[in-house]
Structure 1
Amino acid sequence: MSVTNFNYTGGVQQFTAQKTGQYKLQVWGAQGGLYGGNGGYSEGLITLSAGEVLYVYCGGRFGYNGGGAGSSTQNINGGGATDIRKGGTTLNNRIIVAGGGGGSGYVDRKSTDGLRAGGAGGGLAGIDGTGPSTGTGSSRDGGKGGNQTTGGAGGPGGSPGQAGSFGQGGSATIVNGNTQNGGGGGGGGYFGGGGGANDSPTHNDNDDGGGGGGSGYIGGVTNGQTISGNLSMPGFNGGTIAGAEGDGLAKITLVNGAPSKPGSLQATATSGFKPGNLVRLTSGTATDPEGNTVSYTFQYTLDRGQSWTTIATQTSNIRDWNIPANVTGTYVQFRARSTDLTNASDWTNSSEYQINYNNSPTVSLTSPSENTTLYENDTLNMTGTAYDSDKDQSVTVYYQINNEQRKVLATNLSKTEISLSKKLTFKAGKLYDDETAITSDLTEGVAHTLKIWAVDTENASSENVVRTFYVVPNRVPLLTVNPPTTTGSIDKDTFVIDGTFEDQDQNETTVSYRINGANSIQIATGTSGTFDFNVSLGALNIGENLITVEAVDSYGAKTTQTVKLIKNKVVVPINKSTARYKIAPPTGSASEIIIWVQHNVELTLNVSASMTLSGEQESFKPMTLTNTANLQNGQVEDEFYLASDEAKDSIILQLELEKSDVEANSAITLIMGVL
């Protein structure tokens, strides 16, 4: 806290504000002469900018600064007012005044009986001076106190006192140079008090009227008060006093310094300074000497400072602002200042920016309609037009699905109607542009958005055209499989597996099966239906077997069911058996076949062969036994022969075996042949 004290000097004193901020002004008026009424007190607040000057006038108890003259000696002059002036040194420049007290009616002593006393200064109206209530000769009343509009009237008497005026106390009348007459001078003030009266110009005595007190003034400050000198008031050195005695005093205290001026102010407009565009204002930060919260006020002008419009007051030094769409100015300039609780810094001005006028493009859509629902393989059709009325510009039209990456829809020159046309296909839960997915999976039952807009080369953008759409992704087919009983014995070479299928979206569906990962075999098609297929026991492996049934719709949605079967190995001795062999001719076809079969002698063997073209039905013919040779270890080797009338490419060998003893361990040990 900075305090500057001012004492009486008999002249004007200057105060220069070192900081911008709020200052408390305190003034004490001078006492009237040696024994007159006490001076008043006034205080108030004012905000000053750094470098501003105030002019301080401390009143003198013998009349400096408006005190009226006593009738015989300066000891009974009215006390001068103490005031502070701003903007000049005339009485009209006063912003605060503490009234001076009126001079006493006694020349050589202080009134102790309340008679002939000078009135106290200060308050909105000074206190009246008093005169003696007894005595001989003409009356000699005290002068009246000044108020906010007029000076106090002079006291009536043989020699009446003069009335007070604006800034000046009235004087007592001196008659015939008689220095013993005791009328006191009126106190200085906003309006001065009236002078006290003398009873007679021929009387030499000390029983004349006291001067009236001058009024105080607080019209140029805020939160002000003015107190009469006959009341308790703040003391110059602290505490309280019962009126101001002696010469006038003044005190100026910095109670709250303004925050520092913001640093440089920058304005940036990504899309240019155009009507409707966004401008970001960024000022340097400011600090407050008392640590108070600092706010920033931003303003703009469109007429080069003739008038300013407030954008906002906020605690951040960054502000976004849109240039009014209906702006008509050529230039825009900004300024910012910082404020605390009560004070504001000086303004920081930005550069001046030229406003460019550019029309934004427009977009009109004919499709899609609002709330379109897309099913599998449906298309989202974007059609419409875009237009920009400015010349010599390029226009780009964009589209965006939800928050996906924006895509270019069309480009062309301005002043040309731009045709918009794009088809996106919904499949497998996503939107595709041809074969490229442009979205992630779209959720069913959720509103999705298509946004289309146009931007010209000066970054003016059209309004967004938005359409809402929904999707129903393709559902997998329904599939039921009725497996056979998987326990007990099956006495047939084949058994049946059957079931049903249905596509929930009525898409064409294919049903197929495969055994143990082998190639799939198609068994049914359609949007729904039943199916069945035969499984040969011979196609199953000993142990666990997996039969997989699949239903796949035309969009690739698939449902799979798996049947698990266990094939147990059952060893039952048999007398007869048949073995078949597929033979692939090395040259692709053959017309003759010779084979040699080595086997136990107890085993009877009949051999036949089917020689056909591919695709023809099998046709087995007995092969001729052309030779038998005995081998060691109880084995023989038989030679068989068969000829066809033409070369064939599908050759199957069938061997029928029979043993005479069911428990005998008879078998074929070797088969050889030529084609």
Structure 2
Amino acid sequence: MANYNAPIVEGRVLNIPYTGTIQSIEIKKPGLYKLEAWGGQGYMGQKAGYSVGYKEFKKKGQIIYVCVGGKGGYINSSGGATYYNGRGFNGGGDITVYREWCSQGGGATHFALVNGLLQNIGYANRGNIIIVAGGSGAGVGGSSFLMYGGTGGGLSGGNGTYSTSQHGGASGRGYPGAGGTQTSGGLGYAENGGTGELFNGKFGKGGSTSNADAVCTGGGGFWGGGAGADGYYDDSGSSGGGSGYIDGAPSITYKGIRYTSSTQNNIWGVYPFNYSTHGYYGEPPGYNGKAAITFIKKGTPTLYYGDKEVDALFYGDREVDALFYGDREIG
């Protein structure tokens, strides 16, 4: 049973908030629909991505699925206590205790024809994915510095940023994760520039951490962003954002009108992180993602009773799904 019924009045919008679960939507009237997705923001992340697409659904009763991405959380083990508010639902990289703290990328928001998180739908079944908005990467900071995670995508997620410093005659730097693209996850790093598959973004999921490695996990997306890590002299790098995605052609002409799809960075709002106000405690600041579906225009009716459109036919008390003229289906 669907969680929501799609709108049936032209121009009517159904807004779908973050719940931490996958929601289903039943198409009640065939026609053209506008689908919008906003990704979740990483902890100390920049803006997440926004994607908009148009799709014709021809079958009454079809079920589609929407998964709204969650904002990233963090772990803090300062003073022996662990503070965990992690979410990053739908692809924010997994976080573990990193010395004193570790931050998490935001989750992606997507619509699909099948049920599941992006990473569980999988690359081989990407043809069932309609639209994706990437989550932004996670940032890192202290009382004297702050580096936001990369933006969510967009055709590509934004790259993380990093700090540098001088120690005697030696230069120090952090290691930022790269944003996901349309074809691959972002390169991620472990402490002091180490690499490995765990830290790289993957299909539907940001790069993750292990106990003594990356400090910021990547944002979720069509392809996730890479994790960011500290350097030799406590310089730090933030993580990359995940990429967005639009299935099919960039535009559709429906009943003589052209509708254009797009996926963009820097649309969803940024929550400025103030270290002196927030510290590392309490509810993580930032935004969960969201989604919306709008009924644009009803499908072309195939049957009329006089001048009135007929939605369904019955044979006795049984609804007829299709009509044929000879061996050709017409309804």
Match of 1:418? none
Which position in structure 1 is the counterpart of 2:64? Answer: 54
Name the counterpart of 1:129. Answer: 160
Deviation at 1:249, TM superposition (A): 0.5
8 Å CA contact 1:70–1:78 kept in 2: the answer is no
- Determine the structure 1 residue equivalent to 2:293: 252
CA–CA distance in structure 1, aligned partners of residues 106 and 173 of structure 2: 24
Aligned to 2:281: none
1:21-40 residue pairs with structure 2 within 5 A? 21-33=31-43, 35-40=44-49
Return the letter of the residue paired with 2:203. Answer: F
Q: Cα offset for 1:7?
A: 1.1
Corresponding residue of 2:303: 262
Deviations 1:98-148 (A, max 9, x none): 000001122x67x9x6x6321011110111001112255864211000000
Counterpart Cα distance in 2 of 1:286 and 1:121: 47
Which structure exhibits the higher relative contact order, with contacts defined as CA atoms closer than 8 Å and separated by 6 or more residues?
Answer: 2
- 1:209 and 2:260 correspond: no
Q: Conserved in 2, the CA contact under 8 Å of 1:39 and 1:243?
A: no
Matches within 5 A, 1:575-654: none
Once residues 105 and 69 of structure 1 are traced to their aligned partners in structure 2, the CA distance between those partners, rounded to angstroms, is 16
Identity score, percent: 37
Give secondary structure in 2 for the equivalent of 1:256: strand
Unaligned runs of 5+ in 2: 1-10, 73-87, 252-259, 273-285, 312-322
Instruction: Indicate the residue corresponding to 1:20 in structure 2.
Output: 30
Of 146, 149, 152, 2:180 maps to 146
Are 1:259 and 1:286, in contact at CA under 8 Å, matched by a contact in 2?
no
Deviation, 1:54, is: 1.1
Aligned to 1:590: none
- What residue in structure 2 maps to residue 332 of structure 1? 326
**1:367-378 mapped onto 2 (5 Å cutoff):** none
Structure 1 segments of 4 or more deviating over 6 A?
none
C-alpha contact (below 8 Å) 1:99/1:189 kept by paired residues: yes
- Pairs within 5 Å for 1:188-203: 188-200=220-232
Deviation at 1:333, TM superposition (A): 3.9
Which structure has the highest helix share of the two?
A: 2
Q: Secondary structure at the match of 1:158?
A: helix
- Higher strand fraction: Structure 1 or Structure 2? 1
The DSSP-based 3-state class of the residue aligned with 2:147 is coil
Instruction: Tell me the matched-pair count.
Output: 256
Does the residue aligned with 2:206 lie in a helix, a strand or coil? coil
2:91 is aligned with 1:66: yes
Aligned residue among 113, 117, 121 for 1:86? 113
User: Normalized against structure 2, the TM-score is what?
Assistant: 0.68
Partner Cα distance (1:135, 1:186) in 2: 27
Contact 1:182/1:208 (8 A) holds in 2: no
By how many angstroms is 1:5 displaced? 1.1
Q: Which of 200, 203, 208 is the aligned partner of 1:171?
A: 208
CA distance in 1, matches of 2:37, 2:13: 13
- 1:4 corresponds in structure 2 to 14
1:418-429 pair list within 5 angstroms: none
Distance 2:28 2:166 in 1: 58
Matching residue within 49, 52, 74 for 1:43:
52
Question: Structure 2: how far apart are the matches of 1:216 and 1:288?
Answer: 39
CA distance in 1, matches of 2:310, 2:164: 61
Distance 2:20 2:297 in 1: 31
2:131 counterpart residue number: 96
Q: Is the 8 A contact 2:95 2:209 kept in 1?
A: yes
Q: Does the 8 Å contact 2:152/2:242 carry over to 1?
A: yes
Match 1:227 to one of 226, 243, 264: 264
Task: Give me the whole-angstrom Cα distance separating, in 2, the residues matched to 1:17 and 1:75.
Answer: 41
Q: Distance in 1 between matches of 2:309 and 2:112?
A: 30
2:227, 2:238 within 8 Å by CA — same for their partners in 1? yes
Q: CA deviation at 1:41?
A: 0.3
Q: What is the DSSP-based 3-state SS (H/G/I as helix, E as strand, rest coil) of the residue aligned with 2:261?
A: strand
State the 1:87 CA deviation.
3.8
Q: 1:38: how far off? A: 1.8
Opposite residue 159 of structure 2, the aligned amino acid is D
Aligned-partner Cα distance in 1 for 2:220–2:153: 10
- Which letter does structure 2 place at the counterpart of 1:185? T
State the AA in 2 paired with 1:213. Answer: G
Q: Report the alpha carbon displacement of residue 18 of structure 1 after superposing the two structures with TM.
A: 1.2
SS in 2 for 1:67: coil
CA distance in 2, matches of 1:151, 1:31: 18
Aligned to 2:79: none
Do the aligned residues in 2 keep the contact of 1:40 with 1:243 (CA within 8 Å)? no
Report the alpha carbon displacement of residue 4 of structure 1 after superposing the two structures with TM.
1.3
Do the aligned residues in 2 keep the contact of 1:259 with 1:287 (CA within 8 Å)? Answer: no
| Structure 1: gaps (5+ residues) | 176-180, 236-240, 265-283, 290-303, 306-330, 337-346, 348-675
The 1-side partners of 2:26 and 2:13 are apart by 12
Q: Structure 1 residue 156: deviation in Å? A: 6.0
Contact 2:20 2:89 in 1 (8 A): yes
> C-alpha displacement at 1:335, in angstroms?
4.4
Decide which of 132, 136, 140 is 1:105's aligned counterpart.
140
Q: For residues 319-355 of structure 1, what are the alpha-carbon distances to aligned partners after superposition, in whole Å with 9 as ceiling and x for unaligned?
A: xxxxxxxxxxxx934544xxxxxxxxxx1xxxxxxxx
The answer for the alignment partner of 2:80 in structure 1 is none
- Give the number of the structure whose alpha-carbon radius of gyration is greater: 1
Q: For residue 134 of structure 1, what is the amino acid of its counterpart?
A: S
Structure 1 equivalent of residue 192 of structure 2: 158
Post-superposition CA distance 1:612-644 (Å, at most 9, x none) = xxxxxxxxxxxxxxxxxxxxxxxxxxxxxxxxx
